[in-house]
Structure 1
Amino acid sequence: MDTESSSDDEKKMMNKRIVVAVDESEESMYALSWCLHNLIQFSHQNKYENENINLVLLYVKPPPPVYSSLDAPGYFLGGNEIATMEKYSKDLATSVMCKAEMICRDFDIKVEKKIGTGEAKDVICLAVDKLRADMLVMGSHDYGFFKR
């Protein structure tokens, strides 16, 4: 019985899921680079260890603006403007993910990409719970205590 539980513990330790929250900032790319250099071995040093690590890149798109007729700024967004904003948001997410993948290319590691929409803190916390991540890595914008 103890043998089974110890082998389960070994499997848990060997299969790690690390979520890295990325955005277009330099701070998040630095956090990704730090994660790769400090938490993940270079592929030429220990390939076996990297096979058991899943790196999840998480990008959170901001929620679309909602305007009501009572507090509208004097104009309404039509279908073309909304489509343009959605295309820009999608292109930005693609660009951020490509940049993050370029940073990961020197490491022999499984990379999974996830894109969420909403308030960043809520989406990140929900994703970490849903993915059952072992670790969350994210950059700091130096907002200070009250912004966090």
Structure 2
Amino acid sequence: MDPAPAEGRRVLVAVDEGDESAHALRWCLANFAARGDTVLLLYVRAPPPTYSVLDATGPAGYMFAEEATAAVDGYSKQVADAVVEKAQKLCALHGKDNGEMKVEVKVSVGDPRSVICEMVDKLGADVLVMGSHGYGLFKRALLGSVSDYCVRNANCPVLIVKS
């Protein structure tokens, strides 16, 4: 009888709607994650929009803002569910979460850069795995880069998987 696997690493994989994060997860499962590891799938939803009372003109405007906020938040939850389901299917295809490796899912709300770095600490991640969108210098300067931010601010090693 084989002994129980030793407590492995906690590998946090940031997933989103992009092909880059799916590629990073596939690469991680095939080449990095090992028996005894826990793969933590993290999806960060954008916070629901907020409207001030000044945005609405009269009670009808305020009610419309509430409905719009609820619709956007509902859609955001649907997207999160779809992304998480896709990531879990990738794990199942690679034979993970079969007793040799655990898979856990976390969904959080906020700015992805700060939430990912906070979750590294909160979840005790030993390594953070992320995909890269491959933005050039100009786009990265304009849009910012979640992976660049995490490389500089996460309290663990960060593995960036290029497409």
Q: Distance in 1 between matches of 2:106 and 2:29?
A: 18
- 1:37 equivalent to 2:18? Answer no
Does the residue aligned with 2:26 lie in a helix, a strand or coil? helix
Question: CA shift at 1:110, angstroms?
Answer: 1.0
Q: One-letter code of the match for 1:126?
A: E
Once the two structures are superposed, what CA deviation does each residue of 1:17-57 show, in whole Å capped at 9, x if it has no partner?
Answer: 0000000100000010010111035xxxxxxxx2x210000
Aligned equivalents of 1:91, 1:115: Cα separation in 2? 12
Alignment-derived partner of residue 83 in structure 2:
96
Name the CA distance, whole Å, in 1 between partners of 2:46 and 2:14. 14
Identify unmatched segments of 5+ residues in structure 2.
1-5, 146-163
Percent of matched pairs sharing the same residue: 43
Query: 1:139 and 2:101 equivalent?
Result: no
Classify 1:111/1:128 alpha carbon distance in 2 versus 1 (closer, same or farther; 3 Å): same
- DSSP 3-state at the match of 1:56: strand
Task: Tell me the secondary structure at the aligned position of residue 133 of structure 2.
Answer: coil
Aligned length: 126
1:107 corresponds in structure 2 to 95
- Describe the shift of the 1:118–1:91 C-alpha distance in structure 2 as closer, same or farther (beyond 3 A): same
Taking structure 2 as the reference length, what is the TM-score of the superposition?
0.69
Change (3 A) 1:68 1:113: same
Q: 5+ unaligned residues in a row in structure 1: which ranges? A: 1-10, 42-49
Deviations 1:78-98 (A, max 9, x none): 332222212111111010011
Higher RCO, 1 vs 2 (CA within 8 Å, ≥6 residues apart): 1
1:68 maps to which of 33, 38, 52:
52
Q: TM-score, normalised by structure 1?
A: 0.76
Shifted more, 101-110 versus 28-37: the winner is 101-110
Match of 1:125 among 101, 110, 117: 117
